[in-house]
Amino acid sequence: MLRVLPGLLTAARHAHHTAPALTCPLLVRVQRLTAQTMVKLGDPHLAWLAADRAMTTASGDARLTARAAVALTQALRALDRGRLLTAVHLTIAGPCGAGRRSSVAVVLVALHQGCQDRPVTPLRLIETTPGKYSLLLDAGTTAVDGLVEELGHEPNGYFWEGVAQVLVSTEAPALEGRFSYDPEGGMFCAYGVDRSALEELAVRMAAVATDGERMRRLIAEAEANGFEFDD
């Protein structure tokens, strides 16, 4: 399945770009499949990202949105996001027709209200100019800074560039070459025109920036493989 999914997503997105009205159900289905697969593989952050994209793709179609909400429910349950999970249940339990549309709206509002809980914290993605994006992280603001120092590194922007490089090479090689890095001492920065690639990087980096054990494993495995953090 993992070998098939990247090509399947690419083909579905291309088809949706060519004929959105006809292929919207197909893209939602593939995005749902991706989210469900990520939950099973123990990566609920990526599952949330895929399910959220399915919700966006399905926006305006009550039936498709309700189906996408099932994948979103699974991701939120895996992340223990009870407040948002309750809102999603309103969509799944609601009747078809106007009632379903109103409950879908509740979910979308709840998702926006819950943005502060999104897994991209403490990173932020901004559009610097139309069509150009930067993913930023202020050095010294993460929950793992003390651990990073304990392990002999300085949690500055250059260190976080190393973290991003390790994540791309070991977990997401499909992201290679889709953005560039421009860190400095006080800030990590990745930039480019591929927003979806930067969003995925943000999710992967946030999972490390908020989990000490995951950071410890990443550093240990990277150094065991000869990687040198430039901090």
Segments making up each domain of the chain, as ranges: 2-80, 123-225
Q: What is the pLDDT of residue 88?
A: 54
Q: Per-residue confidence at 223, pLDDT binned at 50, 70, 90?
A: very high
* Residue 13: other Cβ atoms inside 10 A: 17
Q: By C-alpha distance, which of 152, 176, 155 is closest to 166?
A: 176
Total-model pTM: 0.54
Given CATH 3.30.1370, say whether it is the number of domain 123-225.
yes
Buried b (16+ CB within 10 A) or exposed e, 139-176: beebebbebbeeeebebbbbbbbbbbbbbbeeebeebe
Q: Is 120 left (phi over 0), alpha (psi -120 to 50) or beta?
A: alpha
Q: What is the pLDDT of residue 189?
A: 93
Could you tell me which residues are beta bridge partners of residue 187?
A: 138, 184
Residue range 150-172: average pLDDT?
A: 95
DSSP 86: H
C-alpha to C-alpha distance for 111 and 151, rounded to whole angstroms = 37
- 231 within 8 A of 164, measured Cβ to Cβ: no
Average pLDDT, the chain: 81
C-alpha to C-alpha distance for 24 and 57, rounded to whole angstroms = 7
